[in-house]
Amino acid sequence: MNQPLWQPTRSRIESTNLYRFTHILRDRWSIELPDYAALHRFSIEQMDEFWLSLWDYAGVVAETRGDRILADRDKMPGARFFPEARLNFAENLLKRRDDGDAIVFWGEDRVRRRLSWRELYERVSRLAQALEADGVVPGDRVAVIMPNLPETVIAMLAAASVGAIFTSCSPDFGVQGVLDRFGQVGPKVLIAADGCFYNGKAHFAADKLRTIMANLPKLERIVLVPYISEQPELKALGERAIRFDDYLAPYQTREIPFARLPFDSPLYILYSSGTTGIPKCIVHGAGGTLLKHLEEHLLQCDVKPNDRVFYFTTCGWMMWNWLASALACGATLLLYDGSPFHPSGNVLFDFADAEGMTHFGTSAKYIDALLKAGVEPKRTHRLTSLRTVLSTGSPLAPNSFDYVYERVKSDVCLSSISGGADLIGCFVGGNPMGPVRRGEIQAKVLGMAVEVFDENGQPVVGTKGELVCTKPFPSMPLEFWNDPDGTKYREAYFSMYPGVWRHGDWAEIMPHGGIVIHGRSDAVLNPGGVRIGTAEIYRQVERLDEIVESLVVGQNWDNDVRIVLFVRLREGLKLDEALAARIRRQIRENASPRHVPAKIVQVADIPRTLSGKIVELAVREIIHGRPVKNRDALANPEALELFRNLPELAS
C-alpha cells in the first residue's frame, strides 16, 4: 500500500466546501455518503440531483434554470445539460462590486498592478460598450494575443458579457501558429499587447501583429494594449488600430446589460496542440464551462471567497481559462507573466508571501525544475496562507511529491490534476478531504464517470489501460469549428468506443481510488508487444541529478519496437558509459527490465509545445524520417533537427 504523504486534520476536513456540500446532499436527498467513493458514485449515478445541487450551492445567476437537468442523457455526444436555462458567464464572475482585490498582477520584476472588484466591473462595462459600438454581437469572435495581464481577463469578460466568443493566443506563438488558429475562426476584433517581457528582456510585437492583421480578412478592429511602452506606435498597424485606453475613452461606466443566452451558447474556442496537423478548434459552451469550473474550484480545490488563487500559465493554455473562473467563487486572481526564474527561482514564492497566496498552481515540469535548481522555499519563505499546491501539464513524478513536502511546505494538499482543453477541465484531480499519496492523483473528479478500459473495452482496477469517461458531463465540447456534421468531433473522442469518451491517456486506477497517468496512449511504447507508458520511464530517469529532462520514444527496429531514451544533461556534463549504466540500473530496479532503453542518446534540447509539453510524437516521426506536419505549434522547432539522422540510431 502506498502510504499517505499528507492527511488533512479533522478540523481542516470540516472547514472544506466539500464537507459542507456533502452534508447538504445528505439532508436534501436523504442518502448516506460515508466517504468520497460514495459521494463520487452518487455524482454519476444520480447526475440530475448532483448537478442541480451544485447549481444551487454555487449560487449560479440565471434568468431561468428550467425544470430539466439533463436531456438526451443516453446520447454521447448529444446529451444536453439544463436545456431551458439562460445565463451569462461574465455575470457569474462579476457578482462582487467592492473595493477588495479582484486581480493582482506581477510582470517579472518590472510591473506591479492591482485592480479592485469595482474597477474590474467598470473596465468590463466600458470595453463591452466599445465592442458593441464596433458591431460585436453574440457569436462573433473576439481574439487576443496577450500576456497574462489584467486586460486579458477584462477582454474575456467583456466579450462574454455581450455573448461573443473569446479565443486567445499568448505572445510566444509565432505568426503561423497564430494564423493556424485565428485564421480558422475569423475574429472581428483583435486585442493585442505591444509586446511582453521574458527573462528581463522586452520583446516587441509590432512586426508580428502587422503580418497577422494582413492575413485575417474578417478583422475589423485591432486594440493595442500598452505593456512594454507607455505610448506604443500605432501607425504601422493602420487605420483599424486604436490604443486600449482610447478605445474605452468615449464610454462611462454603466450597469452591464449581460446577454443571458442559452446554457449551450458558445463562450470559448480553445485549440489542440497542433503538433500532428492544423490545430482543432474546440468550441466550449458558457453554461458547461461555468458549472464544470465551479465544481472543480469549490469542491475539488476548496476555493473560498477572498482566497487568492494563482496558476503559472500563459493565455495560450487552458489553465488560463480555468484560473479566470475562480472569480465566480469571489476569489482574487494572482496573475504572473514572464519567466518563473527571473530574477531568481524564488520570484513566485515572493509573490506568494507578498500576496497571501492560498492556491499555488503550476506545471509538473516547473516543480521538477525547482528541484533540479535546488530551490528550497521552506527555508526562505513563510507561505503562511498556502493551503493547496496544484500541478498539471504532465504526470507529477514521485520525487516531485517528496520535494514539495520536504522543501516547499509540509502542510499542503498537493493535488496533481489531469484533463485538458478538450473538456476545459479535469477528469481526475484533488480531494481536500482525502490523503495525498506519492506519485498518485487523489481522486476521480465528481460528476465524471471515469474508468480505465483494458484491451477488450472492459473496466479494470490495478491494471493499465485507456482512460475513458462513460457518461456525459457539462463541459463536453459543443462542436469543433468548421466541422458541420460532427465527423471530426466523433473521430477525436468516440471512434474507439462508441458512446464512450476515450481521452488518450494511458492510466491506472488503484484499488484505494488513486489514479496514475502513465503517459499519452498514442505515445505508449510497445517493445515485444508489452505496452509501457512513457511516464513510467520519466519517473525513474529524472530522479538522477545529472539529468535535466528526458524524452522517450519507440523506434521501429528489426520487426519490433525498441525503446530510445534521449537525455538533456546539466551544463558541462557528457553521457558516458558509467552514467548510461546508472540510468539503465535505475530503470531496471525501479520499473522493470522491459522498461530499460535499448539506446540512450544525449541531446542539447528537447522540443516542446508552446504550453511546455514535450512532443514525443514529433520526435518519433523525425527519427523515422517522416515529416512533422506543424512545426509552428512548437516553442522551439529548431530542436527537432537534433534528432534527425542520428548515427546512434542507425545500428
* Side-chain half-sphere CA neighbours of 536 within 13 A: 26
Rounded-to-integer distance, Cα 155 and Cα 142, Å: 8
145 DSSP β-pair partners: 169, 192
- CA 171 to chain centroid, in Å, comes to 17
Quick one: pLDDT at residue 378? 98
Residues in the chain: 651
Print the domain residue range for 626: 524-649
| pTM given for the model | 0.90
| 171 located within any domain | yes
Residue 157 counted as domain residue = yes
The C-alpha atoms of residue 139 and residue 434 are separated, in whole angstroms, by 42
Write the CATH number for 643: 3.30.300.30
CB 310 within 8 A of CB 360: yes
Alpha carbon of 56 to those of 24, 28, 61, 63, 324: distances in Å? Answer: 11, 12, 10, 14, 21
Cell of residue 163, nine digits: 455573448
Domain boundary among 262, 287, 318: 262
What cell numbers appear for 364 in the block? 509538473
Handedness of CA 464, 470, 476, 477 (dihedral sign): positive
Whether residue 123 is contained in a domain is answered as: yes
pLDDT (0 to 100) of residue 275:
63
Q: Is residue 332 part of a domain?
A: no
- Residues 280-329: pLDDT tens digits? 999 999 999 999 999 999 999 999 999 999 999 999 999 999 999 999 99
CATH, residue 181: 3.40.50.980
The stretches of 99-166 forming alpha helices (DSSP H) are: 117-133, 150-161
- Classify residue 177: in a domain, yes or no: yes
Could you give the number of structural domains in the chain?
2
What is the tens place of the pLDDT at every residue in 42-86? 999 999 999 999 999 999 999 999 999 999 999 999 999 999 999
Cβ count within 10 A of residue 584: 18
Residue 604 lies in a domain: yes
Q: Flag whether 102 is in a domain.
A: no
Q: Is-contact 311 325, C-beta < 8 A?
A: no
Q: What is the DSSP letter of 539?
A: H
- Structural contact between residues 548 and 569, judged by C-beta atoms closer than 8 angstroms: yes
What's the CA gap between 58 and 295, in Å, rounded?
8
Which of 230, 262, 294 finishes a domain? 262
Which H or E run contains 258? none
**Which residues of the chain are under the pLDDT cut of 50?**
none
Single residue among 262, 289, 323 that ends a domain in this structure = 262
- Only one residue has cell 456540500, namely 21
Distance CA 391, CA 318 (A): 13
Opening angle at CA 562, ends 558 and 565, nearest 5: 145
Residue 451 placed within a domain: no
Three-state secondary structure along 15-41?
A: CCHHHHHHHHHHHHHCCCCCCHHHHHH
Q: Supply the DSSP symbol for 397.
A: P
Cβ(145)–Cβ(190) below 8 Å = yes
> Are 223 and 242 contacting, i.e. CB atoms less than 8 angstroms apart?
yes
